[in-house]
A and B are shown apart, each in its own frame.
Chain A
Amino acid sequence: MDEERVIIPIGPQHPALKEPMNFMLKVEGEKVLEAIPNLGYNHRGIEKAATVRTYIQNLYLAERICGICSIAHVQCYAQGVEKLLEMEIPPRAQYVRLILSELNRLHSHLLWVGVAAHEIGFDTLFMYLWRDREIVMDTLELITGNRVSYGFTMLGGVRRDISPDMAARVKKEMKTVRDRTQYYKKMSSNERSILKRTQGVGILKPQDALALCACGPTLRASNIKWDVRREDPYLAYNEIPFNVVTSDGCDVLSRMIVHYDEVIEATNIIEYALDHMPSGSFREKVTRRIPAGEVVSRVEAPRGEDIHYIKSNGTDKPERFKVRAPTLGNIPAVCKMLSDSYIADVPIILAGIDPCFSCTDRVTFVKGEMGKGWIWTQEELRRYANRWYQQR
């Protein structure tokens, strides 16, 4: 049997992947036995860049880690710096940031379900979802003035307030989005051709999900109730009632359902937040120098748990900035899902974790002028690090 095993490379350039990433699939016939991931095709040096910029400039850098969950990353960064400053931002700013985070979740989720529909060849659903995502994008533009990178979150608050006019308009749009999403959810869980492509595909059992540290909707679709908004509340999430959505299918279909449900939940959160916004200022002045110390901050990004680590040495520039994008947490899980699947299901399984590989890459090995790259396992990297510190 051994000679029948073929290794198929998926990526770094592949139609199923929107961003460069490589999976080596060991296959036997049509069946995938094992998947080995290789990261490192889109290293952008963001962490290094952050250490030569001031804390305020880094706000814009953090926002550009991901073009889709931009609010989540900037929120995570700002939250960390505010923790170092030992300050609480004004309650109104907390609510505005929360509304933006949820709008961010809305458009990211709608985008993902659209992409998933496209992966299984259902372009009509793709077009409809992206049309409705446009409503959310317009809402974001109404509030912040931008569509992708908002430049809205500041240290100590937000740049602009949400006026009552805006609030009324946003509430109206949320109703439309909720109604449409409910319809799509009903349709997706009944339409036979969707069920055939998603049910029982990319299974991730709850115990595997926990063992492999999956996060976000992927984890919740494996019926594990874990959400940073609930477990470690930030902003005003402890004042707002919401459900942590789970589904027990453990497959791509239940990931789809979780995304739909979270969209519905997010519209409810936004409406509640708009109704209960406290009055007061939306911004506080902060000093440019940040007291020395280190902090870990985490938020629930649309794709899962986003973790930022900031180390300050008392100047106006961070000494070390580390980002763990949610996709990294889901890569071991997606390798587990790929094993024992069919080759034809690989695109939808890969898309199933809502991957954002370009946000994930933090390390790449390149040799000086030759520009030649190589791959190291974690063990080799650890040994290299030990050697380097001994020599220092």
Chain B
Amino acid sequence: MVPAEIIEFLSVLIYPGFIFIFTLAFFYEWVDRKFVARLQNRYGPLYAGPGGILQPFADFIKLLAKEDITPRAADKTTFRVTPILMLALALSTLFFIPTAYTTAVSWFEGDLIFVTFLVSILVLITLIAAWSSTSTFSTVGGIRVVLQMLGFEIPMTIVMVGPAIVSKTLSITNIALWQYTTGHYFAIYQPIGLIVLIICLLAEIKKAPFDIPEAESELAAGWITEFSGRKLALIRLTTDVELILAGALVTALFLGGPTGPFGIPSVIFFLIKTTGVILVISNLRALFARFRIDQMLGGFWKYLVPLALLQIILVTLGVG
């Protein structure tokens, strides 16, 4: 009999822990890149593996082998630590959201609030990373990251509370399970919330039309400009993990999480649902021009915050 500690350790390390998440991260980056490429009438990744499926992994390995430059003016320690910290934060956030099993790796009553907290910290770490590299492009990019957070954080938090009110629990795992057991899927009963959450998550993971902090034609690579080699590899992996995070969060809160009928393993349902969400996100990414930072903030406060409040009012009135 294998001791319970070892099983737990393996579950963090392999499944549904690090190895599983990393594999999934590379896979979803490929899905995103390929889908956007096809929408834009390009081929996208093509050569590494069937249909270029190994391309994100190949990019990662390539970046690991590249020269790692630290600018002379940079705050060395912070500059070195922030990429690792970002990846760690993104991963630990994902541990509170059910992925492979119907329950998350770790969960407690109130982890919904903890996850929103971790998501904001992730954004703040981005600012620190940008600030520590001291280049003009990075600094402006970092400022834009935080400005953007002022826009999306409040509506996002508000709509995430919607499912919690109805299911009377503050645990993401329980919200997902509650939807499955009662058959009351919030995607149907709180559609406004779902839409607002997806738009906010687009801004959170900094994808077009909210790729303002890394606006290529204005800021080179924005807040990532000075990062190279291993640090850039970690940052890119973090972006991929954040993509899963977005997919998993929407899946858990509005689509019933990794649950489904017919005794099929729950991970299959998780994959289907998150892939669906990621395809929606990729589709939006190909559809719009980039907004200006003031237009983005104005739009979020003028439209998304009232919409989010409307959803909560509807929920408290018993609709949803």
Residues of A within 8 A of B (CB): 15-16, 30, 117-125, 127-128, 131, 191, 193-194, 196-197, 342, 344-347
**A118 CA / B216 CA spacing, docked (Å):** 9
Given contacts A15-B218, A15-B219, A193-B209, contact A120 B40 (CB under 8 A): no
Complex CA–CA separation, A346 to B218 (angstroms): 8
Seed contacts A15-B216, A121-B216; 19 additional CB < 8 Å A-B pairs: A16-B218, A118-B216, A119-B217, A120-B290, A121-B208, A121-B211, A121-B217, A121-B289, A122-B290, A124-B40, A124-B286, A124-B287, A191-B288, A193-B290, A196-B291, A196-B292, A342-B294, A344-B293, A346-B218
Mark interface residues in B214-233 (1 if CB within 8 Å of A CB, else 0): 01111110000000000000
Asked whether B291 lies within 8 Å of A118 as measured between CB atoms, the reply is no
- How many residues belonging to B are interface residues under a CB distance threshold of 8 Å? 23
Identify the closest chain B residue to A194 (Cβ): B289
What residue in chain A is nearest B140 (Cβ atoms)? A343
**Residues of the A chain whose Cβ atoms lie less than 8 Å from the Cβ of B295:** 196
B182 at the interface (CB under 8 A from A): no
Contact of B215 among A117, A121, A193, A342 (CB under 8 A): A121
Inter-chain contacts of A347 with B (CB < 8 A):
217-218
Task: Give chain B residues whose Cβ lies under 8 Å from the Cβ of A344.
Answer: 218, 292-294
Tell me the dominant secondary structure on chain A's binding face. Answer: helix
Question: Closest B-chain residue to A343, C-beta based?
Answer: B218
0/1 per residue, B17-44, Cβ < 8 Å to A? Answer: 0000000000000000000000111100
**CB < 8 Å neighbour of A193 from B42, B219, B288:** B288
Min CB distance, A57 to chain B, in Å? 38
CB < 8 Å neighbour of B292 from A15, A123, A197 = A197
Q: Give A123 to B288 CA distance when docked, in angstroms.
A: 9
Q: Chain A nearest CB: distance from B70 CB in Å?
A: 21
User: Chain B nearest CB: distance from A134 CB in Å?
Assistant: 11
In the complex, which residues of chain B have a beta carbon less than 8 angstroms from the beta carbon of A125? 289
- Say yes or no: B289 contacts A131, CB within 8 Å: no
User: 1/0 per position for B85-114, CB-CB distance to A under 8 A?
Assistant: 000000000000000000000000000000
Interface centre among B42, B220, B290, B295 (most CB of A within 10 A): B290
Docked pose: A124 CA to B291 CA in angstroms = 15
Kindly state the separation between the CA atoms of A16 and B295 in the bound complex, as whole angstroms: 20
A15-B219, A15-B220, A16-B218 as given contacts; A120 in contact with B289, CB under 8 Å: yes
Q: Complex formed: what's the CA distance from A286 to B112 in Å?
A: 83
* Distance, CA A128 to CA B209, complexed state (A): 18
Asked if B286 and A118 sit within 8 Å, CB to CB, the answer is no
The smallest C-beta distance from B247 to any residue of chain A, in angstroms, reads 22
Q: Which residues of A contact B42 (CB under 8 A)?
A: 127
Smallest beta-carbon distance A388→chain B, Å: 41
Are A197 and B289 within 8 A (Cβ)? yes
Which A residues lie within 8 Å of B286 (CB)? 123-124
Find B208's partner among A30, A123, A345 (CB 8 Å cutoff).
Answer: A123
A128 to B41, CA, bound (A): 7
* Bound-complex Cα distance A342 to B293 (A): 11
Question: How far, in angstroms, from A128 to B286 measured CA to CA in the complex?
Answer: 12
B289 touches A193 (CB 8 A): yes
Known contacts A15-B219, A118-B217, A121-B211: A128-B40 contact under CB 8 Å: yes
Closest 8 pairs (CB-CB, A-B): A121-B290, A122-B289, A127-B40, A193-B289, A193-B288, A120-B289, A119-B217, A124-B286
- In the assembly, what is the distance between CA of A32 and CA of B290, in Å? 21
Contact B292 A345 (CB under 8 A): yes
Cα distance A131–B37 when bound, in Å?
Answer: 13
Cα-based distance from A345 to B293 in the complex (angstroms): 11
**Contact residues in A for B218 (Cβ distance below 8 Å):** 15-16, 344, 346-347
A243: shortest Cβ distance to chain B, in Å? Answer: 29
Residues of A within 8 A of B293 (CB): 344
- B contact residues around A345 at 8 Å (CB): 292
Q: Is the CB of A15 within 8 A of B290?
A: no
Bound CA–CA A105/B230 (angstroms): 45
List chain B residues, Cβ under 8 A from A123: 40, 208, 286
Q: Which residue of B lies closest to A198 (CB)?
A: B289
Q: Which residues of B contact A342 (CB under 8 A)?
A: 292, 294
Please, which residue of chain A has its CB at the minimum distance from the CB of B215?
A121
- Cβ-defined contact, B40 with A117, below 8 A: no
Q: B282-306: contact bitstring with A at CB < 8 Å (1 yes, 0 no)?
A: 0000111111111100000000000
* In contact, B289 and A191 (Cβ under 8 angstroms): yes
CB closest chain-B residue, reference A348: B217
- Nearest CB of A to B207, in Å: 11
Q: What would 9 A/B residue contacts be, using CB atoms closer than 8 Å?
A: A121-B211, A121-B215, A123-B40, A124-B39, A131-B41, A193-B288, A197-B289, A344-B294, A346-B218
Cα A131 to Cα B211 in complex, Å, equals: 24
Closest-by-CB residue of B relative to A119 is B217
Question: A226 CA to B287 CA in the complex, in Å?
Answer: 36
Cα–Cα, bound, A121→B222 (Å): 14
In the bound complex, what is the Cα–Cα distance between A30 and B218 (angstroms)? 14
CB-CB < 8 A to B217: which residues of A? 15-16, 118-121, 347
* Residues of B close to A191: CB separation below 8 A: 288-289
Q: Complex Cα distance A119/B289, Å?
A: 9
- Look across to chain A and name the residue whose beta carbon is closest to the beta carbon of B216: A15
Complex: A73 Cα to B66 Cα, angstroms = 44
A323 CB to closest chain B CB (Å) equals 29
CB B222 to nearest CB in A, in angstroms, measures 10
C-alpha spacing A305/B280, complex, angstroms: 46
Residues of A within 8 A of B287 (CB): 124
State in angstroms the CA–CA spacing of A125 and B290 once bound together: 12
B217 CB to closest chain A CB (Å) equals 5
Is the beta-carbon distance between B41 and A127 smaller than 8 angstroms? yes
Max count, chain B CB within 10 A of own CB: residue among A193, A197, A344: A344
Would you give the shortest CB distance from B130 to chain A, in whole angstroms?
A: 16
Residues of A within 8 A of B294 (CB): 30, 342, 344
Residue of B nearest to A351 (CB): B217
Complex Cα spacing A127 to B219, Å:
21
